[in-house]
């Protein structure tokens, strides 16, 4: 069987990818040490996803810290040429956490990515390498777009060149990135270089808010799943900056993994793709709360914090034109309402 090596295999993206690829006939080598629970607390542990995955004979779990280069080398050396696909989704994903410990953030997000690329080059250079990047590589440049304030969200005008979202032409320079954004920018660029300079089949997917039922959402990471859970269970939510009107387009993990699959079947080298749910899957925190209040007939207590997080986006919707051009058979299947309804069903069982 062909092998897919997945870092962060019990997280949202990793677990969804594992389930998907097993159905496609691949064997999964899952690398994860549940460091998410150390980042965000026990409630954010991915142990439940691990317990589900290890029941499948075609999933092998390896408890490994991706900073442990020697351990990773043993894994690559053992499976070598049988590795046909690498999905690198392990990361330190929080602005706030990175600010407190930028060295650990860099080691996890940047140095470990370089190590994985070197191991790929040495042991399985014909494999496809997919990197889960972030739209935070653009820093706060999206905030320089002209927005109009509406009742529940910020938005661009209908004549704005960004009406269909932000594409890959936006500069990643001359902006405030946050330490998290900076470490991911290095990783993003080095994955490009291994494709363009060293001829590896690498794809860089710059995502914003990824969501889905496998997400162990936390206050510092996991916007939509955390919001729904807080509003349903505690009837309260803290809105941080921008009057709670900041906009995100949320991509369902299933849609993202299907994009990965299309790239895997026909890979490019060092190519960058902005990846999100598009306008139909976008919302502000206020819009999400209003949806829950109306659907469940509840009242959510809102706490407003004036200052946004450093480098945080006031508005971000993804322009998917480039990926759809290269992979025309792929399409978004989930919108805002379907995603919200899935979470409501999950948290009201």
Query: Tokens 């954010």 belong to which residue?
Result: 44
What is the predicted pLDDT for the residue at 221? 62
Sign of the torsion formed by the C-alpha atoms of 326, 328, 317 and 233 = negative
Comparing CA positions, the residue from 221, 166, 35 lying closest to residue 112 is 35
What is the predicted pLDDT for the residue at 217? 67
β partners of residue 111: none
What is the predicted pLDDT for the residue at 97? 84
What is the predicted pLDDT for the residue at 219? 67
Residue 273 gets the label, from left (phi > 0), alpha (psi -120 to 50) or beta, of: beta
Strand order in the sheet with 128-134: 59-62, 27-31, 3-7, 83-88, 128-134, 201-207, 271-275
What is the predicted pLDDT for the residue at 319? 98
What is the predicted pLDDT for the residue at 41? 75
β partners of residue 206: 133, 274
Measured distance CA(250)–CA(276) in Å, rounded: 6
What is the predicted pLDDT for the residue at 161? 97
Measured distance CA(81)–CA(73) in Å, rounded: 13
β partners of residue 154: 149
Measured distance CA(283)–CA(134) in Å, rounded: 18
Task: Write down the pTM of the prediction.
Answer: 0.95
Measured distance CA(206)–CA(144) in Å, rounded: 19
What is the predicted pLDDT for the residue at 336? 97
- pLDDT per residue rounded down to tens, the chain (349 residues): 899 999 999 999 999 999 999 999 999 999 999 987 877 777 778 899 999 999 999 999 999 999 999 999 999 999 999 999 999 999 998 877 888 999 999 999 999 999 999 999 999 999 999 999 999 999 999 999 999 999 999 999 999 999 999 999 999 999 988 899 999 999 999 999 999 999 999 999 999 999 998 876 666 566 898 999 999 999 999 999 999 999 999 999 999 999 999 999 999 999 999 999 999 999 999 999 999 999 999 999 999 999 887 768 999 999 999 999 999 999 999 999 999 999 999 999 8
Domains in the chain: ranges and CATH? 3-347 (3.40.50.720)
Measured distance CA(263)–CA(252) in Å, rounded: 17
Measured distance CA(271)–CA(258) in Å, rounded: 17
């Amino acid at each position: 069987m062909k092998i897919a090596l997945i870092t962060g295999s019990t997280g949202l993206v990793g677990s969804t990818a594992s389930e998907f690829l097993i159905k496609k006939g691949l064997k999964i080598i899952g690398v994860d040490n549940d460091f998410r629970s150390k980042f965000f607390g026990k409630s954010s542990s991915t142990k439940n996803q691990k317990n589900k995955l290890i029941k499948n004979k075609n999933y092998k779990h390896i408890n490994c810290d991706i900073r442990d280069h020697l351990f990773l080398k043993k894994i690559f050396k053992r499976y070598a040429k049988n590795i046909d696909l690498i999905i690198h989704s392990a990361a330190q994903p929080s602005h706030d956490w990175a600010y407190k410990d930028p060295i650990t953030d860099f080691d996890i997000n940047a140095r470990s990515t370089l190590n994985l690329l070197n191991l790929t080059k040495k042991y399985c250079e014909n494999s496809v390498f997919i990197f889960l990047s972030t739209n935070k590589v653009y820093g706060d440049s999206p905030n320089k777009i002209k927005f109009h304030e509406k009742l529940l969200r910020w938005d661009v005008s209908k004549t704005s060149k960004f009406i269909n979202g932000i594409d890959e032409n936006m500069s990643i320079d001359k902006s405030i990135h946050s330490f998290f954004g900076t470490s991911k920018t290095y990783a993003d660029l080095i994955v490009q270089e291994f494709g363009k300079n060293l001829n590896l089949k690498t794809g860089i997917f710059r995502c914003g808010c990824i969501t889905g039922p496998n997400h162990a959402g936390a206050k510092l990471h996991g916007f939509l799943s955390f919001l729904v859970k807080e509003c349903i269970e505690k009837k309260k939510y803290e809105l941080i900056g921008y009057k709670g009107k900041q906009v995100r387009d949320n991509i369902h993990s299933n849609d993202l993994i299907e994009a990965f699959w299309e790239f895997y079947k026909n890979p490019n080298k060092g190519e960058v793709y902005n990846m999100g749910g598009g306008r139909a899957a976008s919302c502000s925190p206020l819009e999400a709360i209003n949806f829950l209040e109306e659907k469940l007939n509840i009242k959510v207590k809102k706490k407003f914090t004036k200052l946004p997080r450093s480098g945080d986006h006031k508005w971000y919707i993804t322009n998917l034109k480039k990926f759809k051009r290269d992979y025309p058979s792929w399409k978004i299947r989930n919108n805002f309402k379907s995603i919200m309804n899935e979470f409501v069903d999950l948290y009201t069982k």
